[in-house]
Amino acid sequence: MNAEGRFNGGGVDGPLTQSGVDGARAVHGMLRGVHFDRVVSSPLPRASMTARLVTAADAPIEYDDRLREMSLGDWDGQLLAPWMDDPEFINYRHHMERWDYRAVHAEGYQALVRRTTAAFRDLAASVGPDGRALVVSHGIVLTITSNFLTGTPLDHARDTGEVANTSVTVLETDGTHWRKVAWNVKPEESNRLRAAGL
């Protein structure tokens, strides 16, 4: 879907490209030796396949429906190009609180944040203050949730750009406050993870 320039939300799923497979294997190499108390993935096949490649069977994978990609309703699967100048697409990308998601039968950002932050908080609580969890999910989910949890207002949660496919973002929490330890680290930048203490 991404390679074809289509909306790739939670209502559609496509197989990983060879680039996606290679990227997930590279993330496996980047995270080799890091112990995770839990590995939790979106149940969508593109995420579950990524999780299997990243863990290479080093850890059992659990699935949490709250980590599914945001449903884009009528847009899912459509080509992006015809929508680029549409006022509602501009709101979807840049003014999330004003986006009329109901007009395209999509999930709103507010609902997305409710379900994903609950998943992240539950997972953090389950591993405790010294534990480590790996979340395998999707671009919108990871971008919006990571930024929102770390204090970015919803309307600005895309200002840093969307996290790249097969990248690693590290969040830390004391159970109340969250902070970014590393953001959008690609496999070729693994030294940034080491600098962050991972």
- CA dist 180 and 163 (Å) reads 13
Upper half-sphere CA count for residue 3 (Cβ side, 13 Å): 8
- pLDDT tens digits, 156-198: 999 988 899 999 999 999 999 999 999 999 989 988 888 777 7
Q: What are the structural domain ranges in the chain?
A: 2-191
Q: Which residues contact 63 (CB under 8 A, 6 or more apart)?
A: 40, 41, 42, 43, 48
Q: Looking at 55-59, 93-97, 110-114, 139-143, which range is the least confident one?
A: 55-59
Q: Any idea which fold 2-191 has? A: Rossmann fold (3.40.50)
Q: Are 6 and 80 in contact (CB under 8 A)?
A: yes
Residue 148 has pLDDT above 90, yes or no: yes
Q: Are 116 and 10 in contact (CB under 8 A)?
A: no
What is the structure's pLDDT at 3? 80
pTM (2 d.p.): 0.93
What is the structure's pLDDT at 57? 76
What is the structure's pLDDT at 58? 77
Residue 150 has pLDDT above 90, yes or no: yes
